[in-house]
Amino acid sequence: MLAVLGTSTCLIMNAEAYREVPGVCGVVDGGVTVGAWGYEAGQSGVGDIFAWYARNALPGHYADEARRRGLSPYELLDTLAAEQPVGGHGLLALDWHSGNRSVLMDHELSGVLVGLTLATRPEEIWRALLEATAFGARTVVDAFTAAGVAVDELTVAGGLTANRLLLRIYADVLNRPLHVLDSAHPAALGAAVHAAVAAGAYPDVPAASAAMGAGRRETWHPDPARSAAYDELYAEYRALHDHFGRGGTDVLHRLRALRHHPHLQ
Tell me how far apart the terminal alpha carbons of the chain are, to the nearest angstrom. Answer: 48
pLDDT tens-digit series, residues 6-44: 999 999 999 999 999 988 888 999 988 889 999 999 999
Band (pLDDT 50/70/90 cuts) for residue 264 is: low
Per-residue pLDDT at 52: 97
The lowest-confidence range among 23-27, 74-78, 136-140, 219-223 is 23-27
Q: Which residues contact 238 (CB under 8 A, 6 or more apart)?
A: 135, 139
Give percent of the chain above pLDDT 90: 91
Mean pLDDT of 97-118: 97
CA–CA distance, 265 with 252 (Å, rounded to integer): 21
Per-residue pLDDT at 127: 98
Residue 265 has pLDDT above 80, yes or no: no
pLDDT tens-digit series, residues 236-257: 999 999 999 999 999 999 999 9
Strands (E), 23-63: 26-29, 37-43
CATH of domain 2-260: 3.30.420.40
Strand 9-15 versus strand 37-43 pairing type: antiparallel
pLDDT tens-digit series, residues 185-238: 999 999 999 999 999 999 999 999 999 999 889 999 999 999 999 999 999 999
Mean pLDDT of 77-106: 97
Residue 150 has pLDDT above 90, yes or no: yes
Mean pLDDT of 47-51: 98
**CA torsion 165→179→51→229, rounded to 10°?**
-50
Per-residue pLDDT at 25: 82
Give the distance from CA 157 to its chain's centroid.
11
pTM of the complete model beyond 0.75: yes
Per-residue pLDDT at 33: 87
Per-residue pLDDT at 154: 97
CA–CA distance, 112 with 94 (Å, rounded to integer): 5
Which amino acid appears at position 114 of this protein?
A: V
Residue 263 has pLDDT above 90, yes or no: no
